[in-house]
Structure formats: structure tokens, C-alpha cells
Structure 1
């Protein structure tokens, strides 16, 4: 098995950035909700663009997306600590370093990702 100390550091940095991103999005969501309380705008019929409900929905989806990334990063960090980070969970073969560089929380090799999506 290859040295994964660099991977662990990169995953930890990605996790810290993702936590910060989620916190920023949560603050933005709270500001959007607060701003909608302070106005009597009819956002459903506003011809000026996106509705407040749409903005809240977008922010909520982004927060959920970051949450899923954090779960994936935590699982990848667990695999690093268990010594299985570079091992495909489907076939048991190696996961190419290039794949892990592009997708650091990948759980499968490319061949298994193609033949077993999801």
C-alpha cells in the first residue's frame, strides 16, 4: 500500500474548506430569510428576477450538497486511517492515484464506477 499521509492532509484541508463553505452558506441563508421578513414584496409576481423562495431553495440545495461532500470526506478519512483508502470497495483492486487526485473521496476504481454506478 502506498503512503497516504499527503492524501490525509489534503482530505483534512478539503474538509475544513467545506465546513467553512457550509457555514458561509448557512449565514447567507439566514440573511435571505431575515431579509424576506423585513419586506412586503410580492416575490411570486416580481418581474425583476428570482423569487426569495427560489433563492432559499438554491441555498438549501447548496448546503445539502456540501453536507454530502462532508460525509464523503469523513468516509475517505476513515479509509485512510483504516489503510483501505486506495482499495476499490467493489473489486478490491487499486484505485488509480489520478482518480483519487480528481475525486479524493472516490470509493471505487474507474472500471467499477462505470460498471456499478451509484
Structure 2
């Protein structure tokens, strides 16, 4: 990688800083996936020990909700991991820091808060 990349005008040290942010976020996300996986497995194992009829057991509804809630969090966290991996790929290709919608640079401040961001604030607000 050259001293000046196409990464929205990132100089090499700033690109390395973004790489470090992405890597740190990735490590935290992997830890979160591990914790959520253990929690989900614990819920499933606990329910396997007792015959719970979610439909007719007064506690079954809350157990089903808890299982679904953890499963949804796990799915969101895995998607975030995919977003981080795609951001690392964009960094390697040299197009990290450019909005996928309008092509304008994503402000560094946004990338510092949301390292996997693929759109600028304006385009992200339109998409919602």
C-alpha cells in the first residue's frame, strides 16, 4: 500500500488507524458472538431437561421469547461481523471510506464511531 491511498484520502498512518479500529471491533464482536452462543446453548439445554410446552405452559412463552431474543441478537452480531469483514476488504481494495451510495468520502468522525460504515450520514438517513 502506498503512503497515500484511495481510501477517501487516508494517509497510510490513518489507514492503519482505521484497520486497528476495525480489528478491535472484530475482536469484540467475536467475543460477543461467543457469549451469545453460550447463552443460547444454555437456554436450549435448560429447556431440554424439562418438558416445556411453550403453547400451554405459563412459563413457556417467556422461555420461547428469551430463546428468540438471544437468537436475534446472535444473528445481528454475526451480521455486524460480516460488515466488519467487508469493511476490511474495502480497506484492502482501497475504497474504504467512500459512500457506497453517492461515492463521496465518509467523514473520519463517522468511521471512528462506526468503522464498518458503508454510507455517509446523508445517504444513511435517506435509507431509513
TM-score tier (shorter): 0.7 to 0.9
Unaligned runs of 5+ in 1: none
The yes-or-no answer on 1:14 pairing with 2:25 is yes
Q: How much does 1:106 deviate?
A: 1.0
Q: Does the 8 Å CA contact 2:98/2:104 hold for their aligned counterparts?
A: yes
Q: Of residues 79, 96, 118 in structure 2, which corresponds to 1:107?
A: 118
The yes-or-no answer on 1:66 pairing with 2:77 is yes
- Scaled by the length of structure 2, what TM-score is found? 0.80
Q: Deviations over 1:45-79 (max 9, x none)?
A: 13xx9621111101100110101101110111111
Map of 1:93 onto structure 2: 104
The yes-or-no answer on 1:45 pairing with 2:62 is no
- Structure 1 runs of 4+ off > 6 angstroms? none
Root mean square deviation of aligned Cα = 1.9
Unaligned runs of 5+ in 2: 1-8
Map of 1:29 onto structure 2: 40
Q: Of residues 57, 61, 79 in structure 1, which corresponds to 2:90?
A: 79
Q: How much does 1:113 deviate?
A: 2.0
- Cα distance in 2, alignment partners of residues 108 and 7 from structure 1: 16
Map of 2:15 onto structure 1: 4
